[in-house]
Amino acid sequence: MAGTGLFAEILDGEHVYKYYADGEWKKSTSGKTVAIINPTTRKTQYKVQACSQEEVNKVMDLAKTAQKSWAKTPLWKRAELLHKAAAILKEHKAPIAECLVKEIAKPAKDSVTEVVRSGDLVSYTAEEGVRILGEGKFLIPLGVVLAIPPFNYPVNLAVSKIAPALIAGNSIVLKPPTQGAVSCLHMVHCFHLAGFPKGLVNCVTGKGSEIGDFLTMHPGVNCISFTGGDTGIAISKKAGMIPLQMELGGKDACIVLEDADLDLVAANIIKGGFSYSGQRCTAVKVVLVMESVADSLVEKVKAKVAKLTVGPPEDDCDITPVVSESSANYIEGLVKDAKEKGATFCQEYKREGNLIWPLLLDNVRPDMRIAWEEPFGPVLPVLRINSVEEGIHHCNASNFGLQGCVFTKDINKAMLISDAMETGTVQINSAPARGPDHFPFQGIKDSGIGSQGITNSINMMTKVKTTVINLPTPSYTMG
Ligand SMILES: NC(=O)c1ccc[n+]([C@@H]2O[C@H](COP(=O)([O-])OP(=O)(O)OC[C@H]3O[C@@H](n4cnc5c(N)ncnc54)[C@H](O)[C@@H]3O)[C@@H](O)[C@H]2O)c1
């Protein structure tokens, strides 16, 4: 169970969790806590420390000192500790998954998968790091990496920043999302148990809106790796002269041509649009289908939507409550706007608390907000198009450019459409997806800066350093 056994040390009283700095679990001197609301019960499930700015300053100093000696730690030793952390993480998947269920209402099975996949990612990063950093290039670490993951994959998107930073010789200050903070604290404890040096891995908690700017503008930070929504755009404008890795929102389009295998498309729309209730950056967020096959596709998707189970994450339902009341209200606003402007509702709109029943909206037009905005919920708009160009135009008119997908049996057409789509990745005949973890993953426009993926993150968190010995007499010259 969360906060018990090996994890008892991270608790401060019932359901109140400590923060982690200098290799120790601590209570904030602010005396304040931040409540974490269970999206299903809408009651306070846990509390975390509201760290003060002085505490953040201290953490930055400690992280800087610890990083200096970590950079001199042999690569094999860094990898060994990461493998150890990965094993502990996987061994203790159950209590961490339990936190994911309670904090972000992720279905129970998917929660376990997130933790296991995270352990695998840490090991993979250790392996890849030994290869990349062992090539003999003059690569040095950046220093202190500030890692800020979003609520929807708090553990996975934290380790996808922590592991590359550590293998490359950096230290870490993690600022977890509020919903997902306790899952992250349990994950950090696995790194603690693995025996990383004091001050190397730190986790400060508090409201993003309160300590966020202080952290991202802190002079002690040498790199920011952020995943989330528009907050990332604001951060990139405020941050100083440091490398930024920004993985932000998306409005992934699914373009369906006349010759597509409609059963395959329908299955991918369901998986891509509705898994984790649509709360995935790479969820299918708009379907652009050729008018001649639209009726048939909508019928097939409708039939599959009817089979989705709706309920609590503990029961492993397909559709679970969205993360917060404000998120549910936002989704409802998009639905109402579409209703007023004449979209066809394939199901009746239904909501109880944060739980929203899956909804397919047909005949959506470009004047509706849902055609452009990211609902981050189980509501999917269908726009009927009369030409491929119209589909590409809609995709490219978006301010987002994360991923997209195209369904057709004509590979030549698919490649041309992929080339024309202004997105970081295009999937042909499959829904968008971040994984596998070694794949490069990037968004353009408002969807991001830089590229993630194990290799890309390691490279991004290092820098080339050149030292030139100038001899009194030239030995040889290259240019
Ligand atoms: N491209 C990707 O890889 C990817 C992956 C997952 C989610 N996302 C996106 O994330 C969004 C959903 O996640 P979210 O609601 O957690 O996003 P969010 O932007 O609201 O929050 C992300 C993180 O930023 C923190 N934060 C808030 N204010 C801050 C500030 N002023 N300074 C520093 N940090 C601050 C939050 O506490 C959280 O940890 C969606 O838009 C989704 O598309 C993108």
- For the chain, 479 residues long, give each residue's pLDDT as a single digit of tens: 999 999 999 999 889 999 999 999 999 999 999 999 999 999 999 999 999 999 999 999 999 999 999 999 999 999 999 999 999 999 999 999 999 999 999 999 999 999 999 999 999 999 999 999 999 888 999 999 999 999 999 999 999 999 999 999 999 999 999 999 999 999 999 999 999 999 999 999 998 877 999 999 999 999 999 999 999 999 999 999 999 999 999 999 999 999 999 999 999 999 999 999 999 999 999 999 999 999 999 999 999 999 999 999 999 999 999 999 999 999 999 999 999 999 999 999 999 999 999 999 999 999 999 999 999 999 999 999 999 999 999 999 999 999 999 999 999 999 999 999 999 999 999 999 998 888 999 999 999 999 999 999 999 999 999 988 888 887 776 66
According to the model, what pLDDT value does residue 474 have? Answer: 78
Edge-to-edge strand list for the sheet holding 33-37? 16-17, 44-49, 33-37
CA 37 and chain centroid, separation: 20
Query: Does the predicted interface ipTM exceed a cut of 0.90?
Result: yes
Q: Distance, CA 386 to ligand 1 centroid (Å)?
A: 36
**Distance, CA of 348 to CA of 143 (rounded, Å):** 53
Decide if 281 contacts 247 (C-beta within 8 A): yes
Q: Distance, CA 458 to ligand 1 centroid (Å)?
A: 22
According to the model, what pLDDT value does residue 206 have? Answer: 95
Mutate to test the pocket of ligand 1, among 114, 117, 151, 403 (most ligand atoms within 8 A of CB): 151
**Distance, CA of 364 to CA of 353 (rounded, Å):** 26
Side-chain half-sphere CA neighbours of 172 within 13 A: 30
According to the model, what pLDDT value does residue 87 have? Answer: 98
Terminal-to-terminal C-alpha distance of the chain:
65
Tokens matching residue 129: 């790091």
According to the model, what pLDDT value does residue 410 have? Answer: 98
According to the model, what pLDDT value does residue 208 have? Answer: 80
Q: Which atom of ligand 1 lies at the shortest distance from residue 230's CA?
A: 19
According to the model, what pLDDT value does residue 479 have? Answer: 60
According to the model, what pLDDT value does residue 210 have? Answer: 78
Mutate to test the pocket of ligand 1, among 53, 152, 211 (most ligand atoms within 8 A of CB): 152
According to the model, what pLDDT value does residue 468 have? Answer: 86
According to the model, what pLDDT value does residue 304 have? Answer: 98
According to the model, what pLDDT value does residue 477 have? Answer: 67
Q: Which of 457, 451, 433, 374 is nearest to 153 (CA)?
A: 433
Q: Distance, CA 289 to ligand 1 centroid (Å)?
A: 30
Tokens matching residue 319: 């559709």
The residue nearest atom 23 of ligand 1, judged by CA position, is: 150
Residue positions annotated with a catalytic role = 247
CB neighbours of 412 closer than 8 A, spacing ≥ 6?
none
**Distance, CA of 398 to CA of 403 (rounded, Å):** 12
According to the model, what pLDDT value does residue 435 have? Answer: 82
Tokens matching residue 370: 């849902």
Query: Residues with Cβ within 6 A of ligand 1?
Result: 148, 150-153, 177-178, 208-209, 212-213, 216, 227-229, 231, 235, 247-250, 281, 374, 376, 402, 443, 448
Q: Which atom of ligand 1 lies at the shortest distance from residue 376's CA?
A: 40
CB neighbours of 28 closer than 8 A, spacing ≥ 6?
19, 49, 50, 51, 52, 55, 206
Q: Which atom of ligand 1 lies at the shortest distance from residue 178's CA?
A: 37
Decide if 139 contacts 464 (C-beta within 8 A): yes
**CB under 8 Å, gap of 24 or more: what pairs does 337-343 form?**
337/368, 337/369, 337/370, 338/364, 338/368, 338/369, 338/370, 338/381, 341/365, 341/367, 341/368, 343/368, 343/370, 343/381
According to the model, what pLDDT value does residue 453 have? Answer: 96
**Distance, CA of 24 to CA of 197 (rounded, Å):** 11
Please, what is the angle between helix 108-133 and helix 75-91, to 10°? 170
Query: Dihedral of the CA atoms 273, 274, 276, 282 (nearest 10)?
Result: 0
Please, what is the angle between helix 156-167 and helix 75-91, to 10°? 160
